[in-house]
């Protein structure tokens, strides 16, 4: 008998809220104008070609007013509210960093949304596997393929939010989600519900694109 999860462990930045637009706004405020706000490379070198390492400003951004002003993607809050109405409990799991100002802003953001029953914050860019293993079979969604694979390893129904920087990455036990309304369906019709976990199945992506950046 398949046990369908009633708990969703959800990443925030790049899944529920538009981290990239806030970062673009912050970078412009310190003199770096992005080409656009939809990077196709996770390191953002495509939108900040003038910088060798655009990501080194992340920690400062996530302690700034621009991070405080981050907004949910269109349709995200509505979809999560529908999940809650259907009996799904949602816990935010974010590797956003543990600096006091970051935690304060993130706490206020999560409380304001009205859909999360709890949140778990980790060091900037930290793996989520240990946290995920603390929960019985749940659903998990992230925008980073390597982190979605941690969801598989933890035994969860793991989903990957479709973003320009992960669009060509596949794995047989990671369900892609392009629209928020798909999350509920994926939670109930997912390969992980009927086949054994296989973390040795490789991600269909070249090694250089598996890098975990601090976000």
Domains and CATH numbers, the chain: 7-17+75-210 (3.40.50.1000), 19-68 (no CATH)
Q: What is the pTM of this model?
A: 0.88
Tokens found for residue 129: 């596997």
| Structure confidence by residue, pLDDT tens digits, 81-115 | 999 999 999 999 999 999 999 999 999 999 999 99
pLDDT tens digit sequence for 166-179 = 998 889 999 999 99
> Around Cβ 39, how many Cβ atoms within 10 Å?
21
At 174-203, the pLDDT tens digits run 999 999 999 999 988 765 544 334 444 445
Residue 43 CB partners (closer than 8 Å, separation 6+): 53, 54, 55, 211, 213
The average confidence (pLDDT) of the chain is 89
């Amino acid at each position: 008998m398949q046990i369908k999860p009633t708990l969703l462990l959800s990443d925030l930045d790049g899944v529920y809220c538009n981290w990239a637009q806030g970062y673009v706004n912050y970078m412009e405020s310190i003199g770096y104008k992005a080409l656009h706000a939809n990077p196709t490379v996770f390191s953002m070198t495509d939108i900040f070609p003038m910088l060798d390492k655009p990501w080194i400003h992340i920690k400062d951004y996530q302690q700034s007013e621009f991070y405080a002003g981050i907004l949910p993607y269109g349709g995200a809050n509505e979809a999560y509210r529908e999940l809650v109405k259907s009996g799904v409990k949602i816990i935010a799991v974010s590797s956003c960093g543990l600096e006091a100002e970051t935690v304060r802003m993130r706490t206020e953001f999560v409380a304001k949304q009205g859909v999360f029953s709890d949140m778990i914050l980790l060091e900037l860019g930290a793996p989520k596997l240990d946290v995920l293993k603390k929960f019985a079979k749940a659903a998990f969604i992230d925008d980073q393929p390597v982190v979605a694979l941690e969801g598989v390893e933890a035994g969860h129904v793991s989903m990957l939010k479709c973003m320009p920087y992960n669009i060509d990455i596949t794995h047989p036990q990671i369900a892609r989600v392009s629209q928020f309304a798909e999350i509920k369906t994926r939670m109930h019709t997912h390969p992980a519900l009927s086949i054994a976990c296989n973390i040795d199945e490789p991600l269909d992506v070249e090694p250089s694109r598996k890098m975990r950046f601090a976000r």
